[in-house]
Structure formats: structure tokens, C-alpha cells
Amino acid sequence: MIWLRRHNKAIVFIIMFATIIFFSIYWAFFSMARLPKGEFLLESKSPNNNYTIKAYLVNGGATTSYAIRAELIRNNRNPKNIYWNYREENAVIKWLSDDVIEINGHILSLPNDKYDFRRKK
């Protein structure tokens, strides 16, 4: 117990440092909020007009393949990335219901589902 009191500040510093490192890595490599904009491909509205999906073709440059990014816009709110897949050049969007969509074979239930190829199992 005495050891813990003496090293309390060091333990707190180590925990805070590890937390900052963890979130920095997540933000830099896994966050969908930082995806590149890309070139607009198409827009699709849900049958009840509550949702709009916009798809973009992202060119990663000479050393990487193309990717498709899709964003969800609902009720005139800010867009939210919901789809990110590598090695694709076309977007095929099909509405299965008012809040279920299929993008290039991946089925998403809106507004919460997302597909990110970096997280597939």
C-alpha cells in the first residue's frame, strides 16, 4: 500500500500515456471519419426518402488500388461514412427496405451498421 502511494503519479501518467497512444493509433489507422473524399459516383435515396447514400471512388495513388466509400445522409444531418471497401471501382446500391441497403453485396441496416474492409473477420 505504501508503494502504491509513492508511485501513484507514475501509474496515472503511464495509464494516461497508454490511453493517448491507443486512441492516436485508432484515429490514424482505423477511424472511418478520416477517409479520403474521393470522386463522386452516384447518389441513391431510400424508398421513404429518409436516407440518402452517396458513393465515391477513391484513388489511392500509383501504389494502391481503388476503393469505394459511401456516406449516409439522414434528415439533412452531417454525412456519416458507412461503407469503405478496397479493390473496388464501382458501387452498386440496392435498397432492400426503407432502412436496409445492400452495397456491393454487403447488407447494412441503417442508420447504425457500417462496413469497413479493415475490420472484416
pLDDT digits (tens, 9 = 90+) for 64-112: 889 999 999 998 788 999 999 999 999 999 999 999 999 999 999 999 9
Which residues, in sequence order, are CB contacts of 99 under 8 Å at separation 6+? 46, 50, 51, 109, 110, 111
pLDDT higher than 60, residue 3: no
Q: Are residues 1 and 53 in the same domain?
A: no
Q: Are residues 2 and 43 in the same domain?
A: no
Q: Are residues 20 and 61 in the same domain?
A: no
Per-residue pLDDT, 13: 83
Q: Are residues 5 and 60 in the same domain?
A: no
Question: Domain limits at 24?
Answer: 1-30
Q: Are residues 67 and 96 in the same domain?
A: yes
Q: Are residues 48 and 102 in the same domain?
A: yes
Q: Are residues 41 and 25 in the same domain?
A: no
Please give the average per-residue pLDDT across 111-118, as a whole number. 92
Which residues, in sequence order, are CB contacts of 27 under 8 Å at separation 6+? 34
Per-residue pLDDT, 34: 73
Q: Are residues 91 and 58 in the same domain?
A: yes
Q: Across all residues in the chain, what is the average pLDDT?
A: 87
Per-residue pLDDT, 105: 95
Q: Are strands 80-86 and 115-116 parallel, antiparallel or unpaired?
A: parallel
pLDDT higher than 90, residue 10: no
- How many domains does the chain fold into? 2
Give, for 44, the enclosing helix (H) or strand (E): strand 39-45
pLDDT higher than 70, residue 55: yes
What is the model's pTM? 0.76
pLDDT higher than 70, residue 21: yes
Q: Which residues of 10-22 are buried (b: 16+ CB within 10 A; e: fewer)?
A: eeeeeeeeeeeee
